[in-house]
Amino acid sequence: MAPGIDGLPAAECEVDVSGRVADFLGSLPPRVLGRIRLGLRVFELLPFPWRFSRLDLATREDFLRRMERSRLGVYHELLLMGKVFTTLGYAIDTGVAGRIGVETSCRLADGSLPEPAGSLGDTQPRGEGEECDVVIVGSGAGGAVAAATLAEAGLDVIVLEAGESHDRENYPSDPLEAITALYRDSGLTIAAGRPPIPIPVGRTVGGTTVINSGTCFRAPAPLLEEWRQRFGIGWTNELGAEFAAAEDFLRVKPVDTERMGRNGQLAMEGAAALGASGGPIARNAGDCVQCSSCPFGCEIDAKRGMHVSYLPRAVAAGARLRTGVNVRQILTENGRATGVSAITLADGPQTSIYPTFEARRPFVVRGRVATIVAGGALGTPELLLRAGLGGRQVGRNLHIHPACWVGARYAEEVRGWDGVMQSYYVDEWERERLLLEATFTPLAFGGAWLPGTGREHQRSMLDFGQIGSIGVHLSDASSGRVSLAGDGSLKARYKLTRADADRLTFGIARAAEIHFAAGATEVYPNIARAGKLTPERLPEFEATSFKPSELRLEAFHPMGTARISADETEGVCGPDGSVNGVDNLYVADASLFPTSVGVNPMMTVIAFASRIASDLALSPSRGDLRRR
């Protein structure tokens, strides 16, 4: 995979790739690790009657090239798996990054550091449990905002988070360690299907807001009106105040087009040349002009994730945060939720959601007024299903915004890592449910999407400084389902329809058009059968029909698995966010969304959580339980 050329060190001979990857894989939960082991065994046996590892170097390189040219989807999936793990272990080496010229950094326009965030207090769970008015499971955009809203209204709040607390003082410097510490399943949560689609989500204090791009869109007004009319949620078109308050508190502002970096400027120039509408992306990072570490935690915490914004605000109002607490069950008595039971480690912080039996310690939190589940569109249905609550719609209606990376090679230097990671959007094709965003991902992630294998792939990596990239996001009509495996762990499936695959292919073509209009010489559509695109080959690409299984996709926005609706047969929660069939149990995260939201969902999660928590705090029947 990485034989070493033109000053790039050779894998294994000069860079320990397999050792790093093996350590990383050792952090995975059993179900995820089992799938990877199976894939690696199949990879090893593909050259039957020979084994891949026993072939000489030239034969291995030739076999990889044939895998890339193959029309068999399983070959492409296994090859991509190999490239992902190899790139993860290889690209983080300082010698590799130095030879390519990659620098990872974050910087404000004036060179200063953001002011320190407020304290999160004592986060260690102690004893056998605690009591409060409201217990909240999850500390991401939904849980953190609900906690701040309720605590400021005078309620006694406890927030439980399975992950640990990280900020600019202690983010892991090693990218593999960061992925393990900050992501659920070390970033390898997969929605099974054709194609299988990774859904990396956060598992740390602040949730996915710690590792996302900081992009802040309001949900489109026509969609909010549709939700009001179709699903009977009377307040969805009245969220202007909630959006405005969050934008002010999070210091949301559009990226400066003069300082966004060349990757965003090329997308802007290409879109302008085509007459395609768009604009600079608004972010919760103030005057940040360089951010190439977002997926590993913002190096200086310029991005105002929940861990440096709403959670300190909640704690200042009296809320308690407990980390390393893996909630396993919702407790109920006589038809009402009374709290949650969890496990944590007997000694020190929890490093795995699968601790050894000897390390488990029960921890129970009782909520006198309400229990709020805000574990995201994967974690929330996992809990509801385990408890048998919410009805038959729980886990269904999974939407994910399937997305693909469309890279391009430019004659000029782009050095995408010198600018803002996600900087410019194009909404010209909104009617096709497409949103294009100039997005430059770090080499450890983006390198796997570069074309070629072996030496050819390494030449692509050497040209990484001349690569521009656009992400194509689809507001999906396709859907999936979250359920529980036999061992009680989460599993997700997703079926990409042919119609949505065609829309994504159309979006790839539009991204290629933008790249070419900005001066790109070739485009990488990430469809093996398509190869590399030139302007002359673009009409041929558009005339070709591709199967859903041929697309290489990722997804970052799971939603919809505890859908809100006035009709109990259509949803899991009522218009106030309460779970059907049980009292005092609420949901406050993206799993509430009735359909795909179509844009980066963080701000809509915040608005929903704010409205639900505010209404709960104002409920007259709960006034006597508020702290004086």
Q: Is 331 exposed, middle or buried (0-12, 13-18, 19+ CB in 10 A)?
A: middle
Arithmetic mean of pLDDT, 521-550 = 95
CATH superfamily assigned to domain 129-189+200-253+296-369+388-396+561-619: FAD/NAD(P)-binding domain (3.50.50.60)
Residue 352 in this model has a pLDDT that exceeds 50 = no
The residues with which 161 forms a beta bridge, in sequence order, are 323
Residue 2 in this model has a pLDDT that exceeds 60 = yes
Tell me the pairing of strands 422-426 and 585-587: unpaired
Structure tokens at 130: 């605690």
Residue carrying the six token digits 């768009």: 278
Q: What DSSP assignment string belongs to 255-290?
A: PPTTTS-HHHHHHHHHHHHHT--EEEPEESSTTEEE
What pTM was computed for the model? Answer: 0.95
First to last CA, the chain: 64
Residue 30 in this model has a pLDDT that exceeds 90 = no
Q: What whole-number distance in Å separates Cα of residue 121 and Cα of residue 152?
A: 16
Q: Is 248 exposed, middle or buried (0-12, 13-18, 19+ CB in 10 A)?
A: exposed
To the nearest whole percent, how much of the chain has pLDDT over 90?
A: 83
Arithmetic mean of pLDDT, 293-319 = 95
Q: What whole-number distance in Å separates Cα of residue 237 and Cα of residue 363?
A: 40
Confidence of residue 3 (pLDDT cuts 50, 70, 90): confident
DSSP SS3 for 411: coil
DSSP SS3 for 423: strand
Q: What whole-number distance in Å separates Cα of residue 372 and Cα of residue 613?
A: 9
Q: Report pLDDT for 291.
A: 87
Arithmetic mean of pLDDT, 60-78 = 88
Q: What type of residue is 415?
A: R
Q: What DSSP assignment string belongs to 555-599?
A: ----B-TT-B-SSTTT-SB-TTSBBTTSBTEEE-SGGG-SS--SS
Position with higher pLDDT, 208 vs 68: 208
What's the pLDDT tens digit per position in 248-293?
A: 999 999 999 999 999 999 999 999 999 999 999 999 998 998 888 8
Kindly report the backbone phi and psi dihedral angles of residue 483, in degrees, each rounded to the nearest multiple of 5, phi listed first.
Answer: -145, -175
Q: Report pLDDT for 627.
A: 33
SS3 content of the chain, % helix, strand, coil (to 5): 40, 20, 40
* 600-628: burial string, b at 16+ Cβ within 10 Å, e else: bbbbbbbbbbbbbbbbbbeeeebeeeeee
Q: Which of 90-94, 503-507, 532-536, 542-546 comes out lowest in average pLDDT?
A: 90-94
Position with higher pLDDT, 104 vs 376: 376
Q: Report pLDDT for 346.
A: 61
* 415-445: burial string, b at 16+ Cβ within 10 Å, e else: bbbbbbbbbbbbbbbeeebbbbbbbbbbbbb
Structure tokens at 504: 């994504």
Whole-Å CA distances, 487 to 18, 184, 191, 254 = 29, 18, 17, 46
The three-state DSSP-derived secondary structure of 75-102 is HHHHHHHHHHHHHHHHHCCHHHHHHHCC
Structure tokens at 268: 């802007």
Contact 438, 171 (CB under 8 A): no
Q: Report pLDDT for 357.
A: 38
Helix segments in 413-537, DSSP class H: 443-446, 454-462, 498-517
Residue 28 in this model has a pLDDT that exceeds 90 = no
Structure tokens at 122: 């004592």
Arithmetic mean of pLDDT, 92-113 = 90
Whole-Å CA distances, 22 to 19, 33, 69, 86, 95 = 5, 11, 28, 11, 20
Q: Report pLDDT for 623.
A: 40
Residue carrying the six token digits 């499936």: 493
Q: What whole-number distance in Å separates Cα of residue 39 and Cα of residue 612?
A: 43
Structure tokens at 585: 């149990």
What's the pLDDT tens digit per position in 374-419?
A: 999 999 999 999 999 999 999 999 999 999 999 999 999 999 999 9
Confidence of residue 69 (pLDDT cuts 50, 70, 90): confident
DSSP SS3 for 549: helix
What's the pLDDT tens digit per position in 339-349?
A: 999 999 765 44
DSSP structural state of residue 215: B
Contact 377, 564 (CB under 8 A): no
Kindly report the backbone phi and psi dihedral angles of residue 316, in degrees, each rounded to the nearest multiple of 5, phi listed first.
Answer: -60, -30
* Mean of pLDDT over the chain: 93
Which of the residues 166, 307, 473, 557 is marked catalytic? 557
Is 76 in the active site?
Answer: no
Q: Report pLDDT for 265.
A: 98
